[in-house]
Amino acid sequence: MENTVLIVEDNEINRMLLMTILEDTYHVLEACNGREALDILRDPKNSVSAVITDLIMPEMDGYQFLEVYSSTPQFSNIPIIVSTSQSDSESEVKCLEYGAWDFIKKPYNAQIIQFRVKNVIERSELYALRQLRYQEQFDTLTGIYIQNMFVRQTKKMLKENPDKDFMILHFDISQFQVYNSVFGRREGDKLLCHIADLLRKVGSKQEYMTYCRVEADAFCICMPAVDKELIQKLMDWFQKDLQAYQRDYNILPNLGVYYVEDKSASIPGMIDHAKLASKECKGNYIQNYYIYTEKMGKSIQEAQSIVSDMERAMKEEQFVLYLQPKYGLAEYKLRGAEVLIRWLTPEGMVSPGKFIPVFEKNGLIMKLDYYVWEQSCKLIRSWLDRGIEPFPVSVNISRVSMYNPRIVEEIYELTVKYNVPPRLFQLELTESAYTDNPGTIKKAMQQLQEYGFTILMDDFGSGYSSLNVLKDISVDVLKLDMKFMANTGSENQKRSESIVANVIRLAKDLSLPVIAEGVEEKEQVEFLKSVGCEYVQGYYFAKPMPVAEYEKLAFTEENM
């Protein structure tokens, strides 16, 4: 196939001279200035092998053309030869900075021009070939192996060491997309390069080790098998380094471990097993590595089935709202409800205990949260349109949704869209979520309160830092976890009652109403009333119920 050379020259005589020299060997295109040249280069019909450009031209001169050329990735393999009558080194340096490959001087020497065009085209083709070969083996961002090369080298390493035990590790970063959103794509790429450098460090100390970047923030390692204690030490080392790398963000690494049993088995299959194990770490802030087991494989297959059904379930509105009433203890009257979600399939109900943890691990809980918020706003709007002044309902915000930088705007925009007063749309956040990212959550909660939303701290007392949370973050209502009083009549009952009574007293000092949740026994109700608890929620009064059932209960004269 004949190579194409583009001549960029405003002087017609010089342009014709260059054409005469080159047209017997190459297909020649012409442009009178840099702008015309860029149009030709960008046209997909033109496959240009080399460009000869003058420097002094009207409209867009050679320097401006070179500046655009050097900043356009699609032109990187097209060699540029600068044609100039200037002989000063300053002009040459400037052209080289912009990516010029060679120079030809005026007046033209036909043989020199022929040789220089031939040489730059051959260099370009060689460079492109080397780049293609490099990309077939190495990741262009980090410089370490891609998966295909990792598979090849790992297979070779396992075959050459039949007496050694090996393990495959799948390493990635929790919520890496959030990191990219916060710091930008360029900083995200720098982090990936830093992780690759860490793998090089580990590899330099190992006699046998292969590693690669699989995709995005995921890396794979094959190294001699070690026990749990040494795996944890490796993870501690990674975590310590990543914390020092970015002190303004808690970078959480995840690790899946697969111990190689059959060295002749598929390496991609081993990677999949390690990847499945790493998924167990998602949302787990205590354990940052998991070892693959057969049971895990089955449970993950079940989880994948749940995930694959979610989109259809949303379209078919299989996710439905249930409401669990909240009662005031002063008169034992209904005073509001918590919105819960139920998944009703044609085959029956899917337990929230099955699908909620799955959605939390893969981030789909954010989509489900939004769905519940919107459906709840629609429900409140329908009541208002019927002339009913309803009791407030509260919706849950998962800890994963708190990583959404637009959470405040999304919640506020929904209430505006459906014209729902924020006082009727309360927000519940578990105590553990406050401890994950206190600075971000504090700011978000303050903004929501400024918009008029009521913030409830759910499961208060279930964590280890309840009082610190109260000190640092402003909430409007405490929901007290009644696990304190799970065993009434036991030896520890008095101690449990003392703790509950003191928490309620503390809340009163802070002017915070308390809702005791999980109330199932008459004795609990009587005790809570005696110590000044204002509200209760639990099976003793009412289980979660469909909307129609709640409406019958809530909108009677007795409760209005």
Rounded distance between C-alpha atoms, residue 226 and residue 450, angstroms = 53
3-state secondary structure of 363: coil
Q: What is the pLDDT of residue 487?
A: 56
SS3 content of the chain, % helix, strand, coil (to 5): 50, 20, 30
Rounded distance between C-alpha atoms, residue 502 and residue 521, angstroms = 20
211-220 pLDDT per residue, tens: 999 998 999 9
Rounded distance between C-alpha atoms, residue 483 and residue 335, angstroms = 23
Has residue 536 been placed in a domain?
A: yes
Residues 6+ apart with CB under 8 A from 381: 418, 419, 420
Rounded distance between C-alpha atoms, residue 172 and residue 181, angstroms = 17
Q: What is the pLDDT of residue 283?
A: 64
Assess whether 218 and 319 both reside in one domain: no
Closest to 279 measured CA to CA, from 300, 298, 250, 307: 300
Q: What is the pLDDT of residue 261?
A: 92
Rounded distance between C-alpha atoms, residue 403 and residue 412, angstroms = 17
3-state secondary structure of 126: helix
Low-confidence ranges of the chain (pLDDT < 50): 464-465
Q: What CATH number is attached to the domain comprising 97?
A: 3.40.50.2300
Has residue 320 been placed in a domain?
A: yes
Rounded distance between C-alpha atoms, residue 546 and residue 261, angstroms = 51
Task: Give whole-number Cα distances, 135 to 131, 150, 475, 560, in Å.
Answer: 6, 13, 53, 70
Q: What is the pLDDT of residue 182?
A: 84
Rounded distance between C-alpha atoms, residue 396 and residue 381, angstroms = 19
Assess whether 94 and 164 both reside in one domain: no
Assess whether 84 and 190 both reside in one domain: no
The encoded tokens of residue 51 equal 């460009």
Has residue 560 been placed in a domain?
A: no
- Which amino acid is it at 150? F
Tell me the chain's radius of gyration from C-alpha atoms: 33
Assess whether 342 and 487 both reside in one domain: yes
Kind of pairing, strands 102-105 and 80-84? parallel
The encoded tokens of residue 217 equal 């923030």
Domain span at residue 170 reads 147-292
Assess whether 284 and 309 both reside in one domain: no
Rounded distance between C-alpha atoms, residue 332 and residue 329, angstroms = 5
Q: What CATH number is attached to the domain comprising 491?
A: 3.20.20.450
Assess whether 238 and 374 both reside in one domain: no
Rounded distance between C-alpha atoms, residue 38 and residue 8, angstroms = 10
Q: What is the pLDDT of residue 513?
A: 93
When divided into structural domains, the chain yields a total of: 3
Domain boundary among 268, 292, 316: 292
Q: How many CA atoms lie within 13 A of 371 on its CB side?
A: 20
Assess whether 386 and 533 both reside in one domain: yes
Q: What is the pLDDT of residue 400?
A: 83
Q: Is the dihedral of CA 509, 514, 518, 520 positive or negative?
A: positive
84-106 pLDDT per residue, tens: 876 677 888 888 888 899 999 88
Rounded distance between C-alpha atoms, residue 498 and residue 491, angstroms = 13
Assess whether 429 and 541 both reside in one domain: yes
Rounded distance between C-alpha atoms, residue 194 and residue 94, angstroms = 33
Q: What CATH number is attached to the domain comprising 251?
A: 3.30.70.270
